[in-house]
Amino acid sequence: MQFMNQTSNAIASRLIQLREKIFAAAHSAQRRADEIRLIAVSKTQSPEAVAALSSAGQKDFGESTTQEALNKIKKFPAQSITWHFIGHLQSNKAKFIPGNFAWLHSLDDLALASKLSRHAQEKSASVNMLIEVNVTRDPKKHGVALDALFNFVEQLLKADHPALDLRGLMTVGPHAAPEKEIRRCFAQLRQLRDACRQRFALPAFSELSMGMSGDYVEAVQEGATMLRIGTAIFGDRDYSK
Ligand SMILES: *Cc1c(COP(=O)(O)O)cnc(C)c1O
């Protein structure tokens, strides 16, 4: 067997340690750990690594390219895993989302929403949508600009996509920044979610996807409901594979 039990055990035990740390972070922020969903980001990782985590009870997995994800998705029974698409989505790949992914974390384009909506309806599938916001105003990042968010939501609602469920916001925190700056970014996303929920009367607009291996504690402190964590579970990614 190529994928050794040792590796599989190491991944499972890192998952347990991570869950304990998330629990502790939630506890000290006076939050309930069960309102925080851990998404294991399995991009570049093997199906065997996903299987190891799945047997250890992990349910949610995140991928960021369609081709790699589809190869993995078909190896697992449909009910066993909830798949999240967390990367930037090119509009010619929109057809791969409905039916394969329950969640899309990176909506930042109205034309993409229309395509997703059409494909979802054709497949009688629905997709939970998070709008990616470029909170740090980083030109290298994707996401809707801060001051464009209200208009973006307004246009989405006007376009009326019944197969797309608007569920909240997503962001990528500042890279290697001081703790204060990271928290400010995540707090801003929370305030934007609250503002959208109220302004557009969307009770289900409740999710905050923020926090990765390096900044999930700050994200929990600021109200994250979804953490996207790869390296802290799987170890370093090998892009050469
Ligand atoms: C890769 C990736 C992650 C996970 O990053 P880690 O630092 O490995 O935890 C989270 N979110 C997005 C959007 C990613 O592309």
Q: How many of the other CB atoms lie within 10 Å of CB of 22?
A: 21
- Give, rounded to a whole angstrom, the gap between the first and last alpha carbons of the chain: 18
2, pLDDT greater than 90: no
- For the segment 186-191, the average pLDDT, to the nearest whole number, is 98
- For the segment 161-182, the average pLDDT, to the nearest whole number, is 97
- What global pTM score does this model have? 0.96
Q: How confident is the model at residue 235 (pLDDT cuts 50, 70, 90)?
A: confident
Write the pLDDT tens digit of every residue in 144-167.
999 999 999 999 999 999 999 999
Mutate to test the pocket of ligand 1, among 66, 212, 233, 237 (most ligand atoms within 8 A of CB): 212
Give the alpha-carbon dihedral of 203, 205, 206, 208, to 10 degrees: -170
Tokens of 150: 């209200």
Rounded-to-integer distance, Cα 62 and Cα 54, Å: 13
Q: What residue owns the CA closest to ligand 1's atom 11?
A: 228
Mutate to test the pocket of ligand 1, among 64, 68, 106, 142 (most ligand atoms within 8 A of CB): 64
For residues 136 and 176, the answer to whether their CB atoms sit within 8 Å is no
Buried b (16+ CB within 10 A) or exposed e, 190-224: bebbeebbeeeebeebebbbbbbeebbbbbbbbbb
Write the pLDDT tens digit of every residue in 98-144.
999 999 999 999 999 999 999 999 999 999 999 999 999 999 999 99
Helix (H, G, I), strand (E, B) or coil at 195: helix
Q: Report the pLDDT value the prediction gives residue 6, as an integer from 0 to 100.
A: 74
Helix (H, G, I), strand (E, B) or coil at 64: coil
The set of residues, in sequence order, having a beta carbon less than 8 Å from that of 108 and lying 6+ positions away, is 131, 132, 134, 142, 143, 144, 152
3, pLDDT greater than 70: no
Q: What residue owns the CA closest to ligand 1's atom 7?
A: 213
Separation of CA 229 and ligand 1 centre (Å)? 6
Write the pLDDT tens digit of every residue in 4-55.
677 888 999 999 999 999 999 999 999 999 999 999 999 999 999 999 999 9
The minimum-distance atom of ligand 1 relative to the CA of 170 is 13
Rounded-to-integer distance, Cα 114 and Cα 110, Å: 6
Measured from CB, residues less than 6 Å from any atom of ligand 1 are: 41, 43, 64, 86-87, 172, 212-214, 228-232
Domains and CATH numbers, the chain: 2-234 (3.20.20.10)
Write the pLDDT tens digit of every residue in 59-113.
999 999 999 999 999 999 988 999 999 999 999 999 999 999 999 999 999 999 9
Separation of CA 159 and ligand 1 centre (Å)? 31
